[in-house]
Amino acid sequence: MNDVYILAIESSCDETSMAIVKNGREVISMCVNTQMKTHALYGGVVPEIASRMHTENITRVLDEVLKNSNLKMDKISAIAVTYAPGLLGSLLVGVECAKVLSLVHNKPLIAVNHLAGHIYANNIDNKMSFPLLALVVSGGHTDLILMKGDYDFQVVGKTLDDAIGECYDKVARVLGVSYPGGPNVEKLALAGAYNYKLPKMMVDDSLNLSFSGLKSAVINLVHNEKQRGNDINKGDLAYCFQYEAIDEIERKVRLALVKYDVKELVVAGGVSANSYLREKMKKVANDYHIKISIPDFKYCTDNAAMIGAAAYPLYLKNEFSDLDLNAKSQLDLY
């Protein structure tokens, strides 16, 4: 079979990204234009601003990704785009761009679920081994997914309330550190120690998770100390939050690995950039004698290479979309 070059577009939140991915695994070029500095001024992503900025940036990103690849559009086999879930106005910019490229250059269009993208980031420069257990930890999701083959997603556990990334962001806000919260809380925690007692979550044996109790405990602790006129040791509190949150994830991953016989543990989503979580998951996989895959840092947070990787199995199955493809702000993968 001829080599397949997929031009992929990701614009579901505050990154405008395009990539050209060969045969679902090899990233020929990737461009990520982040709006992080702008949204940091507001303490979080402002949807209206995000979509405007995608509109301003997207053609420049296209020029750059093609230039860096040394490929012309005629070499491209298909156009892939994130169509769900995410911020609607942001998704629409990517979807419209993909439809125009598909129409003008007469290329098939592939609609990709953002979460499939995060999981398939583990196929870049690598090959996922089925059956596998995927831990998806992002700003909107915390899921345990059993995969017995390509695009065979069986959710076996999920958060019953907040996503882990969302909690990192809220804890960051209450500790007064800037957006994006996750990496900044992680940095604070490096200088901290176990000096605050926070509640354990979901002390059951199900594979579901819950983070809202932990989040509320951190927020209440900060407010109570402020009311008493006491200072908070931000490093210690960040450390204790991270310790408890990731301890909970670790416990549930271990339970899932007892229940399901898998060859590999894959970690996916923005929070997989967290070094503490990465180390813990490596240890877990080692204890169960299974493979571990965690994407390279640049493929952990939102990027188009993962969309190109996730589009490849759909390309092989001729699962193409029509030009009436629309964006969806919410959509389950499973």
The site for ligand KG4 (CB under 6 A) is made up of: 13, 118, 138-140, 165, 168-169, 180-183, 186, 269-271, 273-274, 301-302
Helix ranges (H only) for 121-233 are: 164-174, 181-190, 212-227
Q: Are strands 264-268 and 291-293 parallel, antiparallel or unpaired?
A: parallel
94 interacts with, out of ligand KG4, Zn ion, none, CB within 5 to 8 A per kind: none
In the complex, the smallest distance separating the C-beta of residue 1 from ligand KG4, rounded to whole angstroms, is 32
Of 264 and 302, nearer to Zn ion (C-beta) is 302
In the complex, the smallest distance separating the C-beta of residue 318 from ligand KG4, rounded to whole angstroms, is 28
Of 91 and 175, nearer to Zn ion (C-beta) is 91
If we measure between CA atoms, which residue out of 183, 162, 157, 173 comes closest to residue 242? 183
In the complex, the smallest distance separating the C-beta of residue 269 from ligand KG4, rounded to whole angstroms, is 4
94-133 footprint of Zn ion as x/- string (CB under 5 A): ----------------------------------------
Pairwise CA distance, residues 105 & 236, whole Å: 55
In the complex, the smallest distance separating the C-beta of residue 4 from ligand KG4, rounded to whole angstroms, is 25
In the complex, the smallest distance separating the C-beta of residue 9 from ligand KG4, rounded to whole angstroms, is 15
Q: Which residues lie across from 154 on neighbouring strands?
A: 146
In three-state form (DSSP H/G/I as H, E/B as E, the rest C), the secondary structure along 15-50 is EEEEEEEECCCEEEEEEEEECHHHHHCCCCCCHHHH
Q: How far apart are the first and last CA of the chain?
A: 30
Query: Rule CB under 5 A: which of 285-304 touch Zn ion?
Result: 302
The closest residue (CB) to Zn ion is: 302
